[in-house]
Structure formats: C-alpha cells, structure tokens
C-alpha cells in the first residue's frame, strides 16, 4: 500500500440508510449523533469536510416509480428526503460545536443556502462543514453522482464512502464467508466486475477526473479518523 497521504479536504458520502440504524426506516438520532462525532474528530485533525447524505432511508425515486408514480416527481421526493437527512446532520453537528452549512441544489432559501460554488469553497476555508443536500438537483441521478460532482467542484482530494463493511469485496461479505476484500481496485474493474461501490455514472465521473474513492466501514467507532490517520482497513478505488 502506498504511504499515508495527509488530506486537506475530503468529501464524506453516506447513504440515508446509515442514519436509520436497525429500526429499518427514517432517522435514528443516536446514530446521527454518533456519525456527527466521527466527523468532528476528523475536523479536529484540520481536515476540511464536505458531506453528501443519501435519502434512501426515507424515499427512493425508483421505488416510487415502481409503484406507479411519475419518475421525475418521485426523484424530486427522493431529493427532498436528502434535505431532511442533511438538516438532521446539521443539528447533530452544531449540537457538538461544529459549524455547518446545509447547501441545497434545489432552492429553498428559508431552509438551506442555495448552491453557489465560490461561496461553498469559502465556507470550507473557514472550516465549516458543508452538507450538500438535494443531490444534483436533477432527476435520474443519485447522491453518489452528486457526491462525485461536488467533490470535483470543491477540489476534494478523495471521496470517503462510509458503508457497513470495511471495503470492496469480490462478492457480498455478508452472504459469502470466503469473500475477499481488495486493498486497491481500479475504476475499470469496479465497472467491469460490477462491484457495486457506487453507480456507474458516479464511478465514471470519478475515474475521468482522477478522484479516488476510499471505501471504509462507518460502523467501526473512530473508523473515519483512523483511516485519515493511516490506520484500519479500507479499499482504495483509483
Ligand atoms: N435523487 C435524484 N437526483 C440526485 C440525487 C438523488 O433524483 O441528484 C433522488 C433519487 O430518487 C434517489 C433519492 O433521491 O433515489 C435518494 O438518493 P439515493 O438513492 O442516492 O440515496 P442513498 O441510496 O444514498 O441513501
């Protein structure tokens, strides 16, 4: 493995489901607070942090359209779900003294700032955590693509994708005991072998802009900080 890199600015991507814990739906405040602590501990290392949180714990566009809802409308509902998650994370972070901004790709000025790239960069420079909400603002995309887009725009050095497992495996480690974790894997292999790190458009956007994705376990307490300090296991997609 290549030697430890000191990151200055990163983007943390988590799925909406990471916020629901075992309850199966919605938000589990103690879990949100635990993740907020993880973010705070990384911020204390002097790292500038962007966040993108999915909405799958509340609503997914595809699920809505499968039940007869118009796809674009369902996708807007999914984007609104990400705003709720972003607000919950903001509240948890500010509760422990971390300054934040929720920045929405869909204008809702009473609730969140609109996305203005230079303004967001300024927030990061002032060590505010920027939580990017409402995905890309466009239907037919996912928050993985939004994460890759924002990470590129904010000149992040990597995307940290927090999941339930400590990296990318050749098959589902929760189903197969002989699944093998990759230390490193190329974007092309992720696409060709359909390794399910992120959806294909997000992977292609990361690949075309040389933006590495670090897949790690967010269930591991101290995991996020540990990886930035060069400890623990993870997979680097690059
Ligand atoms: N979504 C969208 N455009 C975007 C990002 C998200 O339409 O740029 C919608 C889409 O319907 C998606 C939902 O928001 O299903 C929630 O996002 P996602 O599925 O990425 O959440 P996650 O799986 O990460 O929780």
For the cut 70, the answer to whether the pLDDT of residue 2 exceeds it is no
Residue 82 in domain? yes
User: DSSP code of 1?
Assistant: -
Residue span of the structural domain in which 95 resides: 9-237
Output the CA torsion 122→104→167→17 (10° steps): 140
Residue 184 in domain? yes
Residue 3 in domain? no
Residue 1 in domain? no
CATH number at residue 139: 3.40.1160.10
| Any atom of ligand 1 within 6 Å of the Cβ of 138 | yes
| Any atom of ligand 1 within 6 Å of the Cβ of 79 | yes
Q: Domains in the chain: how many in total?
A: 1
Report the separation in Å between the CA atom of 5 and the middle of ligand 1, taken as the mean of its atom positions.
Answer: 31
CB 35, CB 89: distance < 8 Å = yes
Q: What are the pLDDT digits (tens) for 162-192?
A: 998 999 999 988 899 999 999 999 999 999 9
Residue 18 in domain? yes
Output the CA torsion 87→92→94→96 (10° steps): -170
Residue burial 123-157, b: 16+ Cβ < 10 Å; e: rest: bbeeebbbbbbbbbbebebbbbbbbbbbbbebebb
Residue 2 in domain? no
pLDDT band at 196 (very low <50, low <70, confident <90, very high): confident
Residue 4 in domain? no
CB 151, CB 199: distance < 8 Å = no
Report the separation in Å between the CA atom of 206 and the middle of ligand 1, taken as the mean of its atom positions.
Answer: 18
Residue 71 in domain? yes
Alpha helix (H) residue ranges in 154-236: 187-192, 200-208, 223-228
Average pLDDT along the chain: 95
Q: What are the pLDDT digits (tens) for 30-41?
A: 999 999 999 999
Integer angstrom CA distances of residue 10 from 39, 124, 184, 203, 226: 11, 10, 19, 17, 14
Locate the ligand 1 atom nearest the alpha carbon of residue 75 and give its number.
11
For the cut 90, the answer to whether the pLDDT of residue 89 exceeds it is yes
Q: What percent of the chain has pLDDT over 90?
A: 91
- Residues near 205 by beta carbon (within 8 Å), at least 6 away in sequence: 145, 148, 149, 152, 211
| Any atom of ligand 1 within 6 Å of the Cβ of 75 | yes
Mean pLDDT for the stretch of residues 222-231? 93
Report the separation in Å between the CA atom of 6 and the middle of ligand 1, taken as the mean of its atom positions.
Answer: 31
Residue at token pair 């092309």: 188
ipTM value: 0.98
Locate the ligand 1 atom nearest the alpha carbon of residue 60 and give its number.
15
Model confidence, pTM: 0.96
| Any atom of ligand 1 within 6 Å of the Cβ of 142 | yes
pLDDT band at 3 (very low <50, low <70, confident <90, very high): low
Q: What percent of the chain has pLDDT over 70?
A: 98
């Amino acid at each position: 493995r290549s030697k430890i890199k000191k990151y200055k600015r990163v983007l943390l991507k988590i799925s909406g489901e990471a916020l629901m814990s075992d309850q199966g739906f919605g938000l589990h405040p103690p879990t949100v607070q635990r993740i907020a602590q993880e973010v705070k501990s990384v911020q204390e290392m002097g790292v500038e942090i962007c966040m993108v949180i999915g909405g799958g714990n509340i609503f997914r566009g595809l699920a809505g359209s499968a039940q007869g809802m118009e796809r674009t409308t369902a996708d807007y509902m999914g984007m609104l779900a990400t705003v709720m998650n972003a607000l919950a994370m903001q509240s948890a972070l500010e509760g422990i003294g971390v300054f934040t901004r929720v920045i929405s790709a869909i204008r809702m000025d009473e609730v969140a700032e609109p996305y203005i790239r230079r303004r967001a960069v300024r927030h990061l420079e002032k060590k505010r955590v920027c939580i990017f909400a409402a995905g890309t603002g466009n239907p037919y995309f996912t928050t993985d693509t939004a994460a890759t887009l924002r990470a590129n725009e904010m000149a992040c050095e990597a995307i940290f994708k927090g999941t339930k497992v400590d990296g990318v495996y050749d098959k589902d480690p929760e189903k197969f005991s002989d699944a093998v974790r990759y230390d490193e894997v190329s974007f092309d292999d992720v696409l060709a072998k359909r390794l399910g790190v992120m959806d294909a458009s997000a992977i292609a956007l990361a690949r075309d802009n040389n933006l590495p994705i670090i897949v790690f376990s967010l269930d591991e307490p101290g995991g996020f900080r540990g990886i930035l300090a060069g400890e623990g296991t993870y997979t680097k997609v690059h």
